[in-house]
Amino acid sequence: MGISDNLRAFIDPEYSSFKGMPKSDVDAALKWATAIGPEIEILLGPGAPTGLISAGSAAAFMGVMGLPVHFKTSNSINSVALGLDKAMLAAAAAIMGASSVFLPIAPTSPFDSENKIFGTKFTPLEICQRCEERVIEWLKTGTYSAFYIPPGSPPAGFPGKPGTAWGAAPILTDEDKATMDADEDGTPIPDDKDDEDPDVQ
């Protein structure tokens, strides 16, 4: 459904699929965690074939956002915003760990949901939309080296495509393919099918 629609189901009374407000702190935590966490892996899925591993990011997000402490109505500060910021950092850390071979760089700017998502002047619909937009925008500032092959397999390796945005679906150019198949046998590196193969000198 997407983050916005998932959130509207329990935030926006005007939504046709509204199911009611959370009944407790625990219920709110569960709803927020499950509305966003799994969508992170879906958003980043296109990068999986080229090296961005998002598996585990949903669990990391939900492990933080699913804490009822972020939804205590007695808090004078926006604890939901603080929880969301921490949960997104947890998701990014999970992605960094899982994708370490492909030289990932996490988003460096604060997620800043207090200013980027929430505010008294916004309707429930706008908050839900802003949340989805912010999650996508922030995740895309992370990068990795798609198709990266470390030195040693073959000796020169392949630099891949540094600076590929998280969630992007990059493709190899003809020049990339030529670099990866120096002997023009149709098999890109790593290639160990013959002893004379310059792909694996």
Predicted local distance difference test score (pLDDT) of residue 193: 47
Residues in the chain: 201
42 has pLDDT over 90: yes
Confidence of residue 76 (pLDDT cuts 50, 70, 90): low
Predicted local distance difference test score (pLDDT) of residue 126: 97
Predicted local distance difference test score (pLDDT) of residue 201: 43
Highest mean pLDDT among 73-77, 103-107, 149-153: 103-107
Confidence of residue 29 (pLDDT cuts 50, 70, 90): very high
- Say how far apart CA 18 and CA 54 lie, in whole Å: 30
Which tens digit of pLDDT belongs to each residue from 138-180?
Answer: 999 999 999 888 877 555 678 889 999 999 988 888 887 776 6
Confidence of residue 59 (pLDDT cuts 50, 70, 90): very high
> Mean pLDDT over all residues of the chain?
87
CB atoms within 10 A of CB 21: 11
3-state class percentages of the chain: helix first, strand second, coil last, to nearest 5: 50, 5, 45
Predicted local distance difference test score (pLDDT) of residue 192: 43
Establish whether the linkage from the previous residue to 154 is cis, with ω within 30° of 0.
yes
